[in-house]
A = this chain, B = another copy of it.
Amino acid sequence: MPKQVDHQERRETIARALWRVVEKRGATHLTLREVAQEAGISLGQLQHYFGSRAELLAFAMDLAGEQSALRVGRALAGLGERPHPRRVLRAMLVEMLPLHADARATSRMSAAYVLEALHDEQVRARARGALLRGRAMVEQVVRQAIADGLIAADCDPVVETDLLLALTGFTTLLELHVVEPAAALTAVDRHLDRLFAVGVARSGVDGVAR
Protein backbone atom coordinates (compact mmCIF):
# COMPACT_ATOMS: atom_id res chain seq x y z
CA MET A 1 0.00 0.00 0.00
CA PRO A 2 1.24 3.51 -0.80
CA LYS A 3 1.02 6.66 1.23
CA GLN A 4 -1.94 5.83 3.38
CA VAL A 5 -4.45 8.61 3.94
CA ASP A 6 -7.37 8.67 6.34
CA HIS A 7 -10.19 8.95 3.86
CA GLN A 8 -12.81 9.90 6.39
CA GLU A 9 -10.66 12.67 7.78
CA ARG A 10 -9.82 13.93 4.31
CA ARG A 11 -13.46 13.96 3.36
CA GLU A 12 -14.31 15.97 6.47
CA THR A 13 -11.59 18.47 5.64
CA ILE A 14 -13.06 18.94 2.19
CA ALA A 15 -16.58 19.18 3.60
CA ARG A 16 -15.52 21.94 5.96
CA ALA A 17 -13.94 23.76 3.05
CA LEU A 18 -17.32 23.50 1.37
CA TRP A 19 -18.93 25.06 4.45
CA ARG A 20 -16.54 27.98 4.24
CA VAL A 21 -17.35 28.48 0.57
CA VAL A 22 -21.07 28.49 1.36
CA GLU A 23 -20.49 30.93 4.20
CA LYS A 24 -18.24 33.30 2.31
CA ARG A 25 -19.47 33.10 -1.25
CA GLY A 26 -22.96 31.68 -1.03
CA ALA A 27 -24.64 28.66 -2.51
CA THR A 28 -24.39 30.19 -5.97
CA HIS A 29 -20.61 29.98 -6.05
CA LEU A 30 -20.58 26.47 -4.68
CA THR A 31 -18.57 24.71 -7.37
CA LEU A 32 -16.12 21.86 -7.17
CA ARG A 33 -13.29 24.12 -8.21
CA GLU A 34 -14.10 26.66 -5.50
CA VAL A 35 -14.23 23.97 -2.85
CA ALA A 36 -10.96 22.45 -4.04
CA GLN A 37 -9.26 25.84 -3.94
CA GLU A 38 -10.65 26.58 -0.47
CA ALA A 39 -9.40 23.19 0.71
CA GLY A 40 -6.01 23.86 -0.88
CA ILE A 41 -6.15 20.83 -3.12
CA SER A 42 -6.55 20.23 -6.82
CA LEU A 43 -9.85 19.53 -8.51
CA GLY A 44 -8.62 16.07 -9.46
CA GLN A 45 -7.80 15.30 -5.85
CA LEU A 46 -11.22 16.38 -4.69
CA GLN A 47 -12.75 14.08 -7.27
CA HIS A 48 -10.61 11.30 -5.94
CA TYR A 49 -12.44 11.51 -2.64
CA PHE A 50 -15.89 12.35 -3.94
CA GLY A 51 -17.12 10.63 -7.06
CA SER A 52 -19.70 13.26 -7.80
CA ARG A 53 -20.94 16.64 -6.75
CA ALA A 54 -24.08 15.13 -5.24
CA GLU A 55 -21.99 12.81 -3.10
CA LEU A 56 -19.95 15.73 -1.78
CA LEU A 57 -23.06 17.76 -1.00
CA ALA A 58 -24.73 14.89 0.82
CA PHE A 59 -21.63 14.25 2.87
CA ALA A 60 -21.15 17.91 3.79
CA MET A 61 -24.78 18.24 4.80
CA ASP A 62 -24.80 15.09 6.86
CA LEU A 63 -21.61 16.21 8.55
CA ALA A 64 -23.27 19.50 9.44
CA GLY A 65 -26.09 17.61 11.08
CA GLU A 66 -23.72 15.35 12.97
CA GLN A 67 -21.66 18.29 14.19
CA SER A 68 -24.78 20.06 15.41
CA ALA A 69 -25.82 16.96 17.32
CA LEU A 70 -22.30 16.69 18.72
CA ARG A 71 -22.36 20.29 19.90
CA VAL A 72 -25.69 19.74 21.63
CA GLY A 73 -24.34 16.59 23.22
CA ARG A 74 -21.27 18.40 24.55
CA ALA A 75 -23.40 21.23 25.89
CA LEU A 76 -25.63 18.76 27.70
CA ALA A 77 -22.64 16.93 29.12
CA GLY A 78 -21.41 20.26 30.45
CA LEU A 79 -24.56 20.61 32.52
CA GLY A 80 -23.52 17.80 34.82
CA GLU A 81 -25.61 14.94 36.09
CA ARG A 82 -29.37 15.16 36.17
CA PRO A 83 -29.54 18.79 35.03
CA HIS A 84 -32.74 20.76 35.35
CA PRO A 85 -34.83 20.20 32.18
CA ARG A 86 -35.07 23.90 31.74
CA ARG A 87 -31.33 24.14 31.36
CA VAL A 88 -31.40 21.17 29.01
CA LEU A 89 -33.92 22.82 26.72
CA ARG A 90 -32.06 26.10 26.89
CA ALA A 91 -28.79 24.44 25.95
CA MET A 92 -30.43 22.66 23.03
CA LEU A 93 -31.91 25.87 21.67
CA VAL A 94 -28.77 27.91 22.20
CA GLU A 95 -26.63 25.38 20.34
CA MET A 96 -29.03 25.33 17.41
CA LEU A 97 -29.00 29.11 16.97
CA PRO A 98 -26.19 30.79 15.03
CA LEU A 99 -24.64 32.45 18.06
CA HIS A 100 -21.04 31.41 17.49
CA ALA A 101 -18.87 30.47 14.54
CA ASP A 102 -19.42 26.71 14.60
CA ALA A 103 -23.14 27.00 14.97
CA ARG A 104 -23.28 29.64 12.26
CA ALA A 105 -21.51 27.40 9.76
CA THR A 106 -23.78 24.44 10.34
CA SER A 107 -26.80 26.69 10.50
CA ARG A 108 -26.14 28.08 7.06
CA MET A 109 -25.54 24.64 5.68
CA SER A 110 -28.84 23.56 7.18
CA ALA A 111 -30.60 26.48 5.56
CA ALA A 112 -29.21 25.54 2.17
CA TYR A 113 -30.08 21.92 2.94
CA VAL A 114 -33.71 22.75 3.64
CA LEU A 115 -34.02 24.92 0.57
CA GLU A 116 -32.69 22.08 -1.54
CA ALA A 117 -34.88 19.57 0.28
CA LEU A 118 -38.04 21.24 -0.98
CA HIS A 119 -37.52 19.84 -4.46
CA ASP A 120 -35.50 16.68 -3.90
CA GLU A 121 -37.24 13.73 -2.27
CA GLN A 122 -33.98 12.14 -1.16
CA VAL A 123 -32.71 15.26 0.53
CA ARG A 124 -36.13 15.99 1.96
CA ALA A 125 -36.33 12.61 3.66
CA ARG A 126 -32.93 13.07 5.25
CA ALA A 127 -33.60 16.60 6.45
CA ARG A 128 -36.97 15.57 7.81
CA GLY A 129 -35.47 12.60 9.59
CA ALA A 130 -32.87 14.76 11.29
CA LEU A 131 -35.51 17.23 12.42
CA LEU A 132 -37.79 14.48 13.69
CA ARG A 133 -34.98 13.02 15.76
CA GLY A 134 -34.29 16.43 17.28
CA ARG A 135 -37.99 16.87 17.89
CA ALA A 136 -38.20 13.55 19.72
CA MET A 137 -35.40 14.57 22.06
CA VAL A 138 -37.09 17.86 22.94
CA GLU A 139 -40.46 16.22 23.42
CA GLN A 140 -39.03 13.62 25.75
CA VAL A 141 -37.53 16.32 27.95
CA VAL A 142 -40.83 18.18 27.98
CA ARG A 143 -42.81 15.07 28.91
CA GLN A 144 -40.43 14.22 31.72
CA ALA A 145 -40.61 17.77 33.04
CA ILE A 146 -44.39 17.55 33.08
CA ALA A 147 -44.23 14.21 34.86
CA ASP A 148 -41.87 15.75 37.40
CA GLY A 149 -44.24 18.64 37.99
CA LEU A 150 -41.78 21.21 36.62
CA ILE A 151 -44.14 22.15 33.82
CA ALA A 152 -47.85 22.61 34.41
CA ALA A 153 -49.68 19.30 34.05
CA ASP A 154 -52.28 20.74 31.72
CA CYS A 155 -49.65 21.62 29.10
CA ASP A 156 -49.79 19.59 25.94
CA PRO A 157 -46.28 18.23 25.43
CA VAL A 158 -46.72 18.14 21.66
CA VAL A 159 -47.79 21.76 21.47
CA GLU A 160 -45.04 22.92 23.79
CA THR A 161 -42.45 20.98 21.82
CA ASP A 162 -43.64 22.57 18.61
CA LEU A 163 -43.34 26.00 20.16
CA LEU A 164 -39.82 25.31 21.37
CA LEU A 165 -38.74 24.11 17.94
CA ALA A 166 -40.32 27.14 16.31
CA LEU A 167 -37.94 29.33 18.30
CA THR A 168 -35.27 28.31 15.82
CA GLY A 169 -36.96 31.05 13.81
CA PHE A 170 -34.48 33.32 15.56
CA THR A 171 -31.94 31.99 13.11
CA THR A 172 -33.06 34.27 10.31
CA LEU A 173 -33.49 37.22 12.65
CA LEU A 174 -29.99 36.75 14.02
CA GLU A 175 -28.30 36.27 10.66
CA LEU A 176 -29.81 39.48 9.33
CA HIS A 177 -29.09 41.37 12.55
CA VAL A 178 -32.75 42.11 13.11
CA VAL A 179 -32.30 40.97 16.70
CA GLU A 180 -29.01 40.81 18.56
CA PRO A 181 -27.76 37.64 20.26
CA ALA A 182 -28.48 39.05 23.71
CA ALA A 183 -32.06 39.83 22.73
CA ALA A 184 -32.57 36.35 21.35
CA LEU A 185 -31.31 34.80 24.56
CA THR A 186 -33.55 37.07 26.60
CA ALA A 187 -36.55 36.04 24.54
CA VAL A 188 -35.69 32.35 24.84
CA ASP A 189 -35.45 32.73 28.60
CA ARG A 190 -38.73 34.57 28.66
CA HIS A 191 -40.40 31.69 26.85
CA LEU A 192 -38.88 29.19 29.25
CA ASP A 193 -40.05 31.38 32.13
CA ARG A 194 -43.60 30.90 31.00
CA LEU A 195 -43.19 27.23 30.15
CA PHE A 196 -41.79 26.39 33.57
CA ALA A 197 -44.44 28.35 35.44
CA VAL A 198 -45.96 25.81 37.80
CA GLY A 199 -48.50 26.77 40.38
CA VAL A 200 -49.64 29.64 38.21
CA ALA A 201 -53.14 29.39 36.84
CA ARG A 202 -53.16 28.35 33.19
CA SER A 203 -54.67 31.14 31.16
CA GLY A 204 -57.57 29.79 29.20
CA VAL A 205 -59.12 31.34 26.18
CA ASP A 206 -59.66 34.94 27.03
CA GLY A 207 -62.90 35.47 25.23
CA VAL A 208 -61.39 36.34 21.91
CA ALA A 209 -62.65 34.21 19.07
CA ARG A 210 -59.95 32.31 17.29
List residues of chain A with CB under 8 Å of any chain B CB.
23-28, 84, 86-87, 90, 108, 111-112, 114-120, 124, 127-128, 131-132, 135, 156, 158-160, 162-163, 165-173, 175-179, 183-184, 186-187, 189-191, 193-194, 196-198, 200-201, 203-206, 208-210
Task: Give the CA-CA distance A24 to B119 in the complex, in Å.
Answer: 6
Q: Which residues of B contact A208 (CB under 8 A)?
A: 84, 86-87, 196
Given contacts A169-B171, A206-B193, contact A108 B114 (CB under 8 A): no
Q: Chain B nearest CB: distance from A105 CB in Å?
A: 12
Q: Which residues of B contact A178 (CB under 8 A)?
A: 128, 131-132, 135, 165
Q: Return the contact of A26 from the options B25, B115, B128, B163 (Cβ within 8 A).
A: B115
> How many copies of the chain does the oligomer comprise?
2
Given contacts A131-B178, A170-B169, A179-B162, contact A203 B204 (CB under 8 A): no
Can you spell out 21 A-B residue pairs with CB atoms less than 8 angstroms apart? Answer: A26-B115, A26-B119, A27-B27, A27-B116, A84-B208, A86-B208, A117-B176, A118-B175, A128-B177, A131-B172, A159-B187, A162-B173, A162-B183, A163-B167, A163-B190, A163-B191, A166-B168, A166-B184, A197-B203, A197-B206, A201-B201
Q: Which residues of B contact A187 (CB under 8 A)?
A: 159, 162-163, 166
In contact, A172 and B84 (Cβ under 8 angstroms): no
